[in-house]
Amino acid sequence: MQPTVDEAVDVLTRPLALPCGAVLPGRIAKSAMSEQLGDRVNAPTAELTRLYARWGTGGGGLLITGNVMVDRGHLGEPKNVVVDDDRHLEQLRAWAQAAQAGGTPTWVQLNHPGRQALRIAGTHPVAPSPIRPKVPGAPTPKELTGDEIRAVVGRFAVAAGVVQEAGFHGVQIHGAHGYLVSQFLSPRANVRTDEWGGDAERRMRFVLEVLRAIRARVGGDYPVGIKLNSADFQRGGFSEEESMAVVAALAAEGLDLLEVSGGTYESPAMATGDTRAESTKQREAYFLDYAEKVRGVTSVPLMVTGGFRTPGAMREAITSGATDLVGLARPFALDAAVPTTVTGGGAAPVMTSRRLSSKQLDAALELYFHTRQIQRIGGGHEPQGSEPLPVTATRMLLDNGWAALRRKRGG
């Protein structure tokens, strides 16, 4: 029997229609990574524009930027891009145009670090509750007032409106990895007893208000997604059951794409050892089992990121219905055209093993290594996947000093 036209098309290159009416041209997406390519006033740079121009011609279905902060008084990292008004609109337009010139839609990931913020002169980290994260040197955050919470919600909406005006094709709310949205959802970080906390329903109010404010600002036909933890992987933290309840509530508010992730800055899901069953490991992705459970509570398109390497596993995940998009992150730092590589039959590249005696140092080295490759691409160079471990370690210490040994954050 001859295959139908649809069957003859590689599932990884099939378009995906979103609830808002937008269409993604393929099923391999770049998940967010922190590029650290903002300038001294947190505007997009020529290097950031060049980086996304390369990624945008790599054959993917979607690019999601790294952390773009909604408040310049609260940064996750020194060189984050900040969008809290339209002062950098022209640089944002150049970034959007370069990223999307090759036909790949690009969404801006919007974030507020909450208690994971840097200590900046004149400001202090804020959070739902004054609970210090269990990270060396982290201060106790200031508890947000009700008025301050509503102001932060408004900042997300303002940022979404500005990047829409700049020409980006969508936005993603960062609701994972222990940042502010995730802090509101977590019973470990949010012990409020007012309308913003106290039980699971009130803890989810903040993310719902953020989505509603963004949707009111950008309209119903503009893509809005979220990156959400499947769980915090901490005793007494945000649970899988609570996560699915949040998903169902977000879907009812007009969500277009759910990216599944997990863990926090204190307890990263993919950096503390792989404890999955062997049958699950063969499927490669970390969060496919959770994604399949989510199918029972929503029809919102799903994106699963973390662990995918081979074309076969990616195709199986999509054809089985476990996910709609395959998210790749660090492979994009080693191969700017990794979607084309994968659809051509090649595997997504991985960094060669670089293990020392310290898990904390190993994690810092791996993140620093990939950030260096991202910045090489932005500088107009090719990534160096075979850089020797001593070179990576030496450069990390020269660039960051002993502060490099504190675990850094990704997207």
pLDDT 10s digits, 243-301: 999 999 999 999 999 999 764 444 444 444 444 444 444 445 678 888 999 999 999 99
pLDDT of residue 283: 46
Higher pLDDT, 266 or 102: 102
The two three-digit tokens of residue 343, written as one number: 């659809």
Question: 101-110, 126-135, 205-214, 397-406 — which is least confidently predicted?
Answer: 397-406
**Domain range list for the chain:** 17-350
The answer to whether residues 55 and 63 touch, using CB atoms and an 8 Å cutoff, is: yes
* Pick among 3.20.20.70, 3.30.930.10, 3.40.50.300, 3.30.70.580: CATH of 17-350: 3.20.20.70
Report the distance separating Cα 168 and Cα 260, nearest Å: 22
Kindly report, residue by residue over 126-145, the tens digit of the pLDDT.
999 999 988 778 899 999 99
Element (H, E) at 229: strand 224-229
pLDDT of residue 84: 97
pLDDT of residue 157: 98
Kindly report, residue by residue over 214-259, the tens digit of the pLDDT.
999 999 999 999 999 876 555 556 788 899 999 999 999 999 999 9
In 3D space, the residue among 351, 343, 306 whose CA is nearest the CA of residue 326 turns out to be 306
Average pLDDT over residues 378-407: 76
pLDDT of residue 410: 55
Single-letter residue type at 100: Q
Average pLDDT over residues 185-194: 95
pLDDT of residue 407: 45
Q: Pseudo-torsion of CA 357, 360, 366, 371, nearest 10°?
A: -150
Kindly report, residue by residue over 331-378, the tens digit of the pLDDT.
999 999 999 999 999 999 987 655 665 666 777 788 888 999 999 999
